[in-house]
Structure 1
Amino acid sequence: MLDLNPRYVAMLHDLMARHLPAEVAVWAYGSRVNGNNHEGSDLDLVLRTPDLTALPGRLLSKFREALTDSNLPIFVDTHDWATLPASFHPRILARYEVVRPGAPAPAVPA
């Protein structure tokens, strides 16, 4: 279970809705999921596209900027699944919480 004040979870969801495409899933991992966090622990997030390819353009940096500029009182460490070393994936897969499931990518007209 994600150990984060519900008010901050709501703020995070608002930021995701405003700055990430609906198809991008967001998972939390690390100390706030594992239960070994403290009040000042950061929040570790990984963003995943439906096909697990890299996020488009400056999307990640713009989302990081929005998090920094927000009123969230903790640091949010955000990564793109596709650009993390593959050796790191099993650590996340061992214990994570889906913060936002994402949606299927929109169909491209033929």
Structure 2
Amino acid sequence: MEEKVIFVDPDKCTGCHSCEMACSIAHFGKNHPKYSRIRIREFRDVNTFIPVTCQQCEDAPCIDVCPRNARRREPSGAVVTDEDSCIGCLTCFQACPYGAPQINPENGKVMTCDL
């Protein structure tokens, strides 16, 4: 399967949160940012918004640190969480240098952009 990536141009982000809404609807059928796998970070001092999503790191630290091997790379290139194996310890959350993983508000387990 061909690998996919999301390219984000932060210079074009207006902080409208449309990407968060689209993601939450696609995955949960709910229009609420807490269900999104994307987060908009706002830097008020420089009036900048940065959409944060999983960087699909080649050597993803979140995969290596998971005590249950619940994090893995899909053939598409997406780094995903196997919710059946995840115990919600947040070790992978803490290992991410980008702050990309989000917490599923329904089960407390980690979720990231699956492309």
TM-score by length of 2: 0.30
Q: Which has the higher helix share?
A: 1
Q: Bigger relative contact order, structure 1 or 2, given CA contacts below 8 A and separation 6+?
A: 1
TM-score by length of 1: 0.31
